[in-house]
């Protein structure tokens, strides 16, 4: 009897390990690297606790995996295209619109391919809007600590950029904006929310006060909120991402960061007024006015967003966002406790600190930075959903062990 059970167990193990193998050694080894590395993936702003397992089960079980899907066209029209997931995409935009201070009737938006794609739309829409209103090309103002995609996209769109100095913590300096402001041309503002390494958020109220002192300058405000735009709406800081409170015209957020979509995606939202002042491209074969940049667009990412709205939703995203804030404070406190120099911006889930050994940077996939004002070599942790207190304790212990070894 015992032999039979052992044999049965061996068969189960063999079947399970067979099911996990792709049949390609290279692919299996690569999977192993990711499965192990995911646990200590501390340096980059992605949620490593994606909750899409049952989405994939549904997708495979219904045979959707053999169907080619495409969302070319405008999801916000009254007659969404039948052979698309536009109806779901529109529901996603309408779910998020009030979280970013837009009204249901006053918003236009799409699910994008990434935060960069959202920034591309923000910059393109902003430049067109200002040109169509004034007949003049705008000047772009963006902080020197903003994500590089903004500078790259301005280069791509052939726009003149003035890089505005930021303070030591990474926020655009309002006085520097005022000095640089060209009052003879419209201003396309890009607000960093937040900056790439230090996780700084530009002070929109202070920067708006500068712009308000120059009413002769027409302004378009785009917010690059790739990471912070995900969690701030669920915290006490929600007004910082409100169009109504902060007066921005457009905002871009990544879907694979806070929201936990398992591959690049994002949201782009702007006012209807901005949308209405874009250049028309009436495309007969698509039966659509194609104001957005891309023709083909992913039809599956809107479904994943929609799925997560049903399965995770407002309450659990709130729990996660506030949990992340608590873990960020915990990480900073624990670093201070062991005397490890560290810094963190208010509202931010990014803690930057004196760079540890190469081994620790490698094990925790830390992102690296450099700033003489903070002692030179730095690294940062972005506290996402999978960076728990238990993992932080292990990380701190690794730093303590490094210090002991050095003594």
Ligand X SMILES: Cc1ncc(COP(=O)(O)O)c(C=O)c1O
Contacts to ligand X by CB under 6 A: 45, 114-116, 147, 149, 196, 224, 226-227, 254, 264, 266
CA distance 30 to 24: 10
**Closest separation between CB of residue 44 and ligand X, Å?**
7
128 within 8 A of 277, measured Cβ to Cβ? yes
Question: Which residue number is nearest to ligand X in terms of Cβ?
Answer: 115
379 within 8 A of 352, measured Cβ to Cβ? yes
CA distance 51 to 35: 16
327 within 8 A of 362, measured Cβ to Cβ? no
**Closest separation between CB of residue 232 and ligand X, Å?**
13
373 within 8 A of 381, measured Cβ to Cβ? no
206: tokens are: 């202070």
**Closest separation between CB of residue 192 and ligand X, Å?**
6
Q: Which is nearer to ligand X, 149 or 334 (CB)?
A: 149
The two counts, helices (H) then strands (E), for the chain are: 15, 13
CA distance 159 to 172: 20
Q: Which is nearer to ligand X, 76 or 227 (CB)?
A: 227
Q: Which is nearer to ligand X, 97 or 227 (CB)?
A: 227
C-alpha 126: how far from chain center: 20
Q: Which is nearer to ligand X, 147 or 171 (CB)?
A: 147
Closest CA to 48 of 32, 37, 33: 37
Q: Which is nearer to ligand X, 114 or 334 (CB)?
A: 114
**Closest separation between CB of residue 183 and ligand X, Å?**
28
**Closest separation between CB of residue 84 and ligand X, Å?**
23
Q: Which is nearer to ligand X, 90 or 147 (CB)?
A: 147
CA distance 122 to 193: 14
**Closest separation between CB of residue 45 and ligand X, Å?**
5
């Amino acid at each position: 009897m015992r032999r039979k059970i052992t044999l049965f167990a061996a068969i189960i193990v063999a079947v399970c390990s067979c099911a996990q193998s792709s049949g390609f050694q290279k692919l299996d080894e690569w999977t192993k690297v990711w499965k192990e590395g995911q646990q200590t993936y501390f340096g980059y702003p992605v949620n490593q606790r994606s909750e899409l397992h049952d989405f994939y089960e549904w997708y495979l079980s219904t045979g959707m995996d053999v169907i080619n899907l495409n969302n070319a066209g405008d999801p916000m029209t009254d007659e969404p295209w039948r052979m698309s997931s536009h109806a779901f995409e529109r529901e996603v935009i309408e779910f998020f619109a009030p979280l970013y201070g837009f009204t249901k009737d006053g918003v236009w938006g799409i699910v994008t391919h990434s935060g960069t794609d959202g920034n591309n739309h923000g910059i393109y829409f902003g430049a067109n809007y200002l040109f169509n209103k004034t007949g003049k090309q705008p000047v772009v103002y963006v902080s020197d600590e903003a994500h590089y995609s903004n500078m790259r996209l301005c280069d791509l769109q052939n726009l003149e950029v003035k890089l505005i100095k930021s303070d030591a913590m990474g926020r655009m300096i309002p006085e520097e904006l005022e000095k640089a402001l060209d009052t003879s041309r419209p201003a396309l503002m890009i607000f960093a929310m937040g900056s790439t390494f230090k996780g700084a958020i530009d002070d929109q109220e202070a920067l708006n006060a500068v712009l308000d002192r120059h009413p002769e300058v027409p302004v378009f405000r785009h917010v690059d909120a790739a990471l912070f735009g995900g969690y701030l709406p669920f915290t006490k800081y929600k007004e910082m991402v409100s169009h109504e409170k902060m007066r921005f015209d457009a905002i871009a957020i990544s879907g694979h960061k806070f929201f936990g979509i398992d591959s690049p995606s994002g949201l782009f939202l702007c006012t209807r007024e901005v949308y209405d002042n874009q250049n028309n491209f009436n495309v007969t074969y698509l039966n659509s006015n194609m104001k957005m940049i891309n023709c083909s667009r992913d039809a599956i990412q809107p479904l994943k967003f929609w799925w997560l709205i049903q399965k995770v939703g407002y309450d659990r995203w709130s729990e996660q966002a506030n949990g992340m804030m608590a873990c960020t404070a915990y990480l900073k406190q624990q670093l201070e406790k062991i005397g490890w120099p560290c810094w963190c911006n208010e509202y931010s889930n990014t803690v930057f600190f004196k760079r540890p050994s190469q081994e620790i940077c490698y094990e925790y996939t830390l992102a690296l930075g450099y700033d003489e004002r903070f002692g030179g070599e730095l690294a940062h942790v972005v506290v996402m959903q999978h960076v728990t207190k238990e993992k932080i304790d292990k990380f701190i212990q690794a730093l303590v062990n490094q210090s002991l070894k050095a003594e």
